[in-house]
Structure 1
Amino acid sequence: MTFERINIAEAKSLLDEADVRIADIRDAQSFNDNHIKGSVNVDNDNLPEFMQNTPKDAPLIVCCYHGNSSQGAAQFFAAQGYSRVFSLDGGFEMWKLAVPELCAR
């Protein structure tokens, strides 16, 4: 299994049509300051719980700061059997500029 890279427009479209899960792997302070609405801040402490509560057939978008670290995390989820895993190109920094209405502070 492997992941796909997804741009902001594709991610927004996917959010409109499917029950998408979003894993934000940035640090807790950055997540608390601002994040994509509906996303979950995932770190080593809550990873097992997140995986237990996330269906492996649901689309999963992994988000980081700029779209680099999310690729490794997306590959990890794909290797765990998640069938539709995406890494958000540009990360949250690009998302907040492109779609500020879908951010939560």
Structure 2
Amino acid sequence: MTEFKRISPQEAQTLREKGAVVVDIRDPQVYAELHISGAKHLDNHSIADFIRAADLDAPLIVACYHGNSSQSAAAYLVSQGFSDVYSLDGGFELWRATYPQETSKIAAE
């Protein structure tokens, strides 16, 4: 794959069940409040380490607020060598509406 694909929450859920990695690029505070269960938070500070440690051939789903910013991030990850990248259409907001039971928050310390 030389480009990312846009996918629905239903397609993303199927990929998650098969082991796809989900990354969330929203603000850290918003991510901490609620995110897709198992999603990793990515930002400008963590992306280099994430790329170094990642399996570039594993399916990767990028989520943002509404599915717009994730497209740019997905394109960037493809340019960094990832071969199977998806942008979540509708972003976290549509995911939350579709799969409310598949969300998590970071426990307060």
TM-score bracket relative to the smaller structure: over 0.9
Paired residue total: 104
Aligned-pair Cα RMSD in Å: 0.7
1:80, 1:102 → 2: CA distance? 29
Gaps of 5+ in 2: none
Verify the 8 A CA contact 1:21 1:54 in the aligned structure 2. Answer: no
Taking every aligned residue pair, what percent have the same amino acid on both sides?
Answer: 44
User: Could you tell me which residue of structure 2 aligns to residue 36 of structure 1?
Assistant: 36
User: Could you tell me which residue of structure 1 aligns to residue 20 of structure 2?
Assistant: 20
Verify the 8 A CA contact 1:60 1:84 in the aligned structure 2. Answer: yes
Q: What is the TM-score when the length of structure 1 is the normalising length?
A: 0.96
Give the C-alpha shift of residue 87 in structure 1: 0.1
Q: Secondary structure at the match of 2:17?
A: helix
2:54, 2:35 → 1: CA distance? 19
Q: Secondary structure at the match of 2:22?
A: strand
User: Could you tell me which residue of structure 1 aligns to residue 53 of structure 2?
Assistant: 53
Question: Segments of 4+ in structure 1 off by > 6 A?
Answer: none
Give the C-alpha shift of residue 7 in structure 1: 0.4
Gaps of 5+ in 1: none
